[in-house]
Amino acid sequence: METVFYTLQWIAVPLLSPGVLGLIRKIKAYMQGRRGASIVQPYRDLAKLFKKDEVVSPDNSWIFSAAPYIVFGTTLALAGSVPLVAAFPFAPTGDILIFVYLLAAGTFFLALAGMDTGGGFGGFGSSREMMIAALSEGGLILALVAASFLAGANNLAIMPDALSAIPLSELLPLFLAAGAFFISLLSENARYPVDNPATHLELTMVHEAMILEYSGPKLALMEWAASNKLLIFIAVFVNIFFPWGLASSLAPAALSLALGIFLLKACAAAFAIAFIESTMAKFRIFRVPDLLFTSFVLSAIAILLIVL
């Protein structure tokens, strides 16, 4: 049963993830007084891209061709192990460090692909992406470590159960860590105020600059992998740092209730992201480290509160 569920998550995450993107765009549109495109627009975009031919540069190597599969594959490998509606001990990639470093492996190849075409944009995108990734890693790891200290477990799939049993009054460190993790979520997923996901302006783009030379199915994979990653981060954010409402049994009623709660929590997170994107200006690139160090300091304080 667990393995069935594990397999189902491999399918559910890629199926749901473009919807999350559509939802964020929709909320943003409403907040900016527009009607905006339909929530299913990202699905249409992906379908369109999969039908298109591809243009590749003669300068690039197999890294460029392999990167979309590796980036998408690593998000798939994590999709089964993050808690969505219920927590399973069967999670081979659920260890917090494996979570962080598998994502880093995806970023590694993404950045290499950005450099492979030899255009001016790709290289700068990679440079900025690696700077942001390197600096947000500290906060990301320590935030998850804080949660794992509270839970007494290192596996994402086991942590929600242990955390939800802790009385609310003792969860202050967890919420500090939640703040730290949310900053990492924004920076790792190329959202405001670190990166602007909607622009192709050379001075501001980071993630889009790296995938600028992609087209057709490979571009679709890259975009899709980015939305998978966003959903995975949101799932960890709402289920580890707000660990209530997961199904405790595999009964259909409990599962559907848990699914409802998860969707609500995910919508709230999407709203938070959209709210930030509508009310805040993007940071200058050299102010981003301040934000990332804030994330690091927050999670370090959380850890000290737990262990001292």
Partner 1 sequence: MIDFLTQFGFFTTFACFLGGAAIALAYGAWGADHESWILSHFFALSGCVVGLLFAGTVLFSSGPLSVHLPITLGIGPDILTFHIDNLAAFFLAAISVVGIAASLFGIGYGKHFLGTYRLGGFGFFYNVFLASMVVVVTAGNGFLFLLAWEAMAIASYFLVIFERREAKNISAGMLYLLISQLGAGFLFAAFLILFRYTGSWDFEAIRLGAAGIPLIAQNIILALALIGFSSKAGVIPLHIWLPEAHPAAPSHVSALMSGVMIKTAIFMLIRFFIDFFPGAGLSWGLIIIALAAVSCLLGVLYALSEHDIKRLLAFHSVENIGIILLGLGASISFFSLGYNVLATLALVAALYHTINHALFKALLFLSAGSVVAATRTRNMEEYGGLIKIMPYTAFFFLIGAIAISGLPPFNGFVSEWMTFQSLFAGIMMLPVIAKIVFLIGASSLAFTGGLAAACFVKAFGAIFLARPRHEHRGAHESSFLGLVGMGLLALLCAVFGIAAGAIAPVVARVAESLSIIPIEIPAAPLQALGGTSIAMPSVALVAMIGIALTGAVVWIVAGRRKIVVSRTWDCGAPLTPRMEITATGFSRSIIMVFRGLLRPSVQTDVEFHDSQTRYFTKRKEVQLSLTDMYYAYLYRPAITLVEHSSRHARRIQTGNLSTYLLYMFLTTITLLFWALR
Residues 238-297 close enough to bind partner 1 by CB under 8 A: 285-286, 289, 296
Q: Do residues 217 and 54 touch, judged by C-beta distance below 8 A? A: yes
The one segment of 148-156, 190-198, 238-246, 254-262 that binds partner 1 by CB under 8 A: 148-156
In the complex with partner 1, the residue whose CB is nearer, 23 or 210, is: 210
Minimum gap (Å) between residue 268 Cβ and partner 1: 29
Q: Which of 165, 253, 281, 307 binds partner 1 (CB under 8 A)?
A: 307
Q: Find where tokens 């409403």 sit.
A: 30
Output 120 or 260, the one with its CB closest to partner 1. Answer: 120
Task: Give, as ranges, the residues between 187 and 216 that touch partner 1 (CB under 8 A).
Answer: 213, 216
Q: Which is nearer to partner 1, 132 or 234 (CB)?
A: 132
Q: By CB under 8 A, what part of segment 126-145 binds partner 1?
A: 126-128, 130-131, 133-138, 141-142, 145
Tell me how far, at minimum, the Cβ of 119 lies from partner 1, in Å.
5
Judged by beta carbon, residue 270 or residue 298, the one nearer partner 1 is 298
Burial environment of residue 286 by CB neighbours within 10 A (0 to 12, 13 to 18, 19 or more): exposed
Give least dist CB 29 to partner 1, A: 30
**CA 195 – CA 206 distance, rounded (Å):** 6
Binding residue (CB under 8 A) for partner 1 from 3, 38, 61, 256: 61
| H helical segments located in 80-212 | 96-116, 120-151, 159-164, 172-188, 207-210
Q: Does 182 bind partner 1 (CB under 8 A)?
A: no
Minimal distance, residue 133 CB to partner 1, in Å: 6
Q: Quick one: residue 190, left, alpha or beta (phi over 0 = left, psi -120 to 50 = alpha)?
A: left
Give the x/- contact pattern for partner 1 in 71-110, rule: CB under 8 A: -xxxxxx--x-----------xx-x-xx--xx-xx-xx--
With vertex at residue 306, the alpha carbon angle to CA 303 and CA 308, rounded to the nearest 5 degrees, is 100
Q: Which is nearer to partner 1, 136 or 196 (CB)?
A: 136
Residues contacting partner 1: total by CB under 8 A: 79
Task: Select 155 or 196, whichever has its Cβ closest to partner 1.
Answer: 155
Closest approach, Cβ 26 to partner 1, in A, equals 27
Please choose, out of 68-76, 232-240, 241-249, 262-270, the segment that lies near partner 1 by the rule CB under 8 A.
68-76
Q: 80: Cβ–Cβ under 8 A, 6 or more apart, which residues?
A: 6, 7, 9, 10, 91, 92, 93
Q: Which of 70, 177, 234, 238 binds partner 1 (CB under 8 A)?
A: 70
CB 90 within 8 A of CB 3: yes
Closest CA to 71 of 260, 272, 275, 222: 222
Examine residue 42 and tell whether it contacts partner 1 (CB under 8 A): no
Beta bridge partners of 95: 155
Q: How far is the CB of 157 from partner 1 (least distance, A)?
A: 12
Q: Is the peptide bond before 193 cis (omega within 30 degrees of 0)?
A: yes
Give every CB contact of residue 167 below 8 A, 6+ residues apart in sequence: none
CB 82 within 8 A of CB 92: no
Q: How many CB atoms lie within 10 A of CB 241?
A: 24
Q: What is the CA radius of gyration of the chain?
A: 19
